[in-house]
């Protein structure tokens, strides 16, 4: 380790996973596209909620990574703690999405669309990284 590098408590295999630049850039592009298309169709609020859904997906992914990093630092990681944490996050995101959908119909459906698109982005990003890793072996 050089003098400029700080020691990180996060294991190297977890640090490799934490890079969310590609999903962030893809989400930003999709968010802009959603705003433009929804604006042209006269439902700009649907595009705004789509961007919120993309943001919630990104936030959830970051929180998952952080909780896994914390768990892997300990000698005996708690699977139950990770599961409860995940269920809590998903319950909050689901309640928020359903609440906004019912409060702002029909444009509230955009939050579900944003969450779904984010999952597709994560699948594409993860698949691309896995294929790249396999090719390097």
DSSP string, 71-116: HHHSSS--HHHHHHHHHHHHHHHHHHHHHHHHHTTTTTHHHHHHHH
pLDDT value for 17 = 53
Give which of 54, 26, 1, 9 is closest to 129, Cα–Cα.
26
| pLDDT averages per 10-residue partition of the chain, 137 residues | 46 55 93 96 95 95 86 78 88 94 93 96 86 80
pTM across the whole model: 0.79
Is the C-alpha dihedral spanning 91, 9, 76, 130 positive or negative? positive
Domain ranges of the chain: 46-71+79-124
Per this entry, what is the length of the chain?
A: 137
- How high is the pLDDT of residue 73? 80
């Amino acid at each position: 380790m050089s003098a400029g590098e700080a020691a990180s408590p996060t294991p190297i295999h977890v640090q490799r996973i934490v890079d969310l630049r590609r999903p962030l850039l893809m989400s930003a592009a999709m968010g802009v596209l959603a705003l433009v298309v929804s604006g042209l169709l006269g439902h700009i609020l649907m595009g705004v909620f789509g961007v919120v859904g993309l943001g919630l997906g990104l936030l959830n992914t970051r929180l998952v990574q952080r909780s896994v990093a914390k768990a892997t630092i300990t000698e005996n990681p708690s699977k139950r703690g990770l599961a409860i944490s995940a269920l809590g996050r998903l319950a909050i995101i689901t309640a928020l999405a359903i609440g906004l959908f019912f409060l702002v119909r029909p444009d509230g459906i955009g939050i579900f669309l944003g969450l779904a698109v984010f999952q597709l982005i994560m699948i594409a990003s993860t698949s691309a990284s896995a294929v790249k890793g396999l090719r390097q072996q």
